[in-house]
Chains A and B, each alone.
Chain A
Amino acid sequence: MSNNTMTGAEILIKALTDQGVDTIFGYPGGAVLPIYDALFKQNSIRHILVRQEGGAVHAAEGYARSTGKPGVVLVTSGPGATNAVTGLTDALMDSIPVICLTGQVPTHMIGTDAFQECDTTGITRPCTKHNYLVKDAGDLARVVHEGFYVATNGRPGPVVIDIPKDVQINRAEYTAPEKVRHKTYRPRVKGDLEKIREAVEMIAQAERPVFYTGGGIINAGPKASSLLTQFVRMTGYPITNTLMGLGGYPASDRQFLGMLGMHGSYEANWAMHDCDVMICIGARFDDRVTGRLDAFSPKSKKIHIDIDPSSINKNIRVDLPIIGDAAHILEDMIRIWKAGARQVDPARIEPWWRQIDIWRARNSFGYEKTDKLIKPQRAVEALYEKTKDRDPYITTEVGQHQMWAAQLFKFENPNRWMTSGGLGTMGYGLPAAMGAQIAHPDKLVIDIAGEASIMMNIQEMSTLAQYKLPVKIFILNNQWMGMVRQWQELMHGKRYSESYVESLPDFVKLAESFGAVGLRAETPDEMDSLIDEMIAVDRPVIADVRVDPTENVYPMVPSGAAHNEMILGSESGASEVPQATDEGLALV
Chain B
Amino acid sequence: MQDTIARHTISALVDNEAGVLARVIGLFSGRGYNIDSLTVSEVDSANGVSRINIVTTGTPMTIEQIKAQLDRLVPVHRVSDLTVEGPHIERELALLKVRSSGEKRVEALRIADIFKARAVDATDRSFVFEITGSASKIDAFAELMRPLGLVDMSRTGVAAISRGPDEI
Contact = CB atoms under 8 A, between A and B. Distances in A.
B71 A314 contact: no
Interface residues of B, number: 19
Q: SS class of chain B's interface: helix, strand, loop or mixed?
A: helix
Contacts of B71: 309-310
Contacts of A133: 18-19
A402 to B, nearest CB: 27
B65 A314 contact: yes
A387 interface: no
Nearest to B68: A310
Contacts, number: 41
A480 to B, nearest CB: 34
B90 interface: no
Interface in B39-92: 61, 64-65, 68-69, 71-72, 74-77
B23 A125 contact: yes
Contacts of A185: 74
Contacts of B23: 125
B22 A184 contact: no
- Point out which of B26, B65, B76 has the most chain A C-beta atoms below 10 A from its C-beta: B65
A98 to B, nearest CB: 15
Interface in A63-94: none
Contact of B19 (A121, A129, A310): A121
A312 B65 CA distance: 8
Interface in A101-122: 121-122
Given A121-B19, A125-B26, A313 B72 contact: no
A317 B61 contact: yes
B130 interface: no
A545 to B, nearest CB: 41
A75 B1 CA distance: 48
Contacts of B74: 129-130, 150, 182, 185
A126 interface: yes
Given A121-B19, A150-B74, A310 B26 contact: no
A312 B68 contact: yes
Interface of A: 121-122, 125-126, 129-131, 133, 150, 182-185, 308-310, 312-314, 317
Interface of B: 1, 15, 18-19, 22-23, 26, 30, 61, 64-65, 68-69, 71-72, 74-77
5 contacts: A125-B26, A183-B15, A184-B15, A184-B75, A313-B64
Query: What 9 pairs across the A-B complex have the smallest Cβ distances?
Result: A310-B68, A130-B74, A184-B77, A309-B68, A310-B72, A310-B69, A185-B74, A126-B30, A126-B26
